[in-house]
Amino acid sequence: MESEAAFHTSNLPYFHPSNPLSFHPLFDEAFLYKLERLSILSRRAMAGQLQGERRSPKRGQSVEFADFRPYTPGDDFRRIDWNAYARLERFFLKLFVEEEDLTVHLLVDTSRSMDWGQPNKLWYAVRAAGALGYIALASLDRVTVSAFGQQVDETFPPHRGKQQAMALFAFLQGLTPQTDTDLRTALRGYATTATHPGPLLLISDLLDDGWRDGLNALAIRGFEVTVLHLLSPDETDPPLAGDLKLLDVETGEPVEITADYDLLARYRQGLAGWQDELRAFCGGRGMNYVTVTTDVPFEELILSFLRRRGVLR
């Protein structure tokens, strides 16, 4: 007997796109306190705009000593190291590490394929972006968020400081699933228009063939990219059996299959090959590729899993 299944879940008890703010907030205070102990790991120093908690390649006037350099006419006498002068009878200036903020870029895929699974992928992505954004705000980094779908791209412009956390959470909770998305166009457009390249975290199921060109554009632009490849457990291990008609959640097109052992084995093999291709592509461009399923407990994802994968510290 043939049955019909659709890759879509809309009756979630904790999230509904038509009125997301009517449900509980993203995090409780205890979890936010844990987030404040973390920071987003930047694998290379980048210059920022204002003094923050990051180490800049420039030399400034913070409290952390970096180096000496000989005095030259016009330098500030207040920065002369008089102890060095007493020993060497030459003027040297003390240099200190200047701490500056970065702009942390969060990109959230809101295509219709993300609004599926238990737990729901879009809700999981929203919470991940909220946690990562809060960590960056608590570190005095600037945070900007862009959500991209076929119908509309929504943007949370750069904000700085923990006092902006509620605005960030409200923006994220207001996101709704769109139709299918064009990753090539969305990521190329972001690479072209975004200012202050810095750490960039893309949260997506990558169910679009344009991911190669899009990710390549981000790498060329100078972003330090982490790809959080988000899938549901039913996508990694489909609980299917027998004759089925599957409906593509983005196009609505039906596909009839017979889900037997051989078909499911080929599916899992193809999924593993795709993830290996993504891992090799990202690794070859200095990107951090992290795959995760939504059945990973959320606190474990943030407090443990992403720390092991070099995203947080």
| 23 vs 138, more confident | 138
| Tokens representing residue 53 in the block | 């908690």
3-state SS, residue 177 = coil
Confidence grade of residue 271 (pLDDT, cut at 50, 70, 90):
very high
pLDDT at 51: 45
**Residue ranges of domains in the chain:** 3-46+101-308, 54-100
DSSP H or E run through 230: strand 224-231
Task: Report pTM.
Answer: 0.77
Of 81, 104, 108, residue with least CA distance to 92:
81
pLDDT at 248: 66
List pLDDT tens digits, range 145-178: 999 875 556 899 999 999 999 999 999 999 988 8
Homologous superfamily in CATH for domain 3-46+101-308: von Willebrand factor, type A domain (3.40.50.410)
List pLDDT tens digits, range 297-310: 999 999 999 999 99
Q: What's the average model confidence in pLDDT over 213-230?
A: 96
CA 56: distance to chain centroid?
Answer: 22
Rounded to a whole number of angstroms, the distance between the first and last alpha carbons of the chain is: 52
Q: What's the average model confidence in pLDDT over 268-297?
A: 97
**Percent of the chain that is helix, strand, coil (3-state, to 5):** 35, 30, 35
Neighbours of 175 (CB within 10 A): 22
| 125 vs 3, more confident | 125
- Residue 6 scores a pLDDT above 70: no
Are β-strands 224-231 and 142-148 bridged in parallel, bridged antiparallel, or unpaired? unpaired
pLDDT at 289: 98
Q: List own/partner pairs for 261-270 with CB under 8 A and 24 or more apart.
A: 264/238, 264/240, 267/238, 268/236, 268/237
What percentage of the chain exceeds 90 in pLDDT? 54
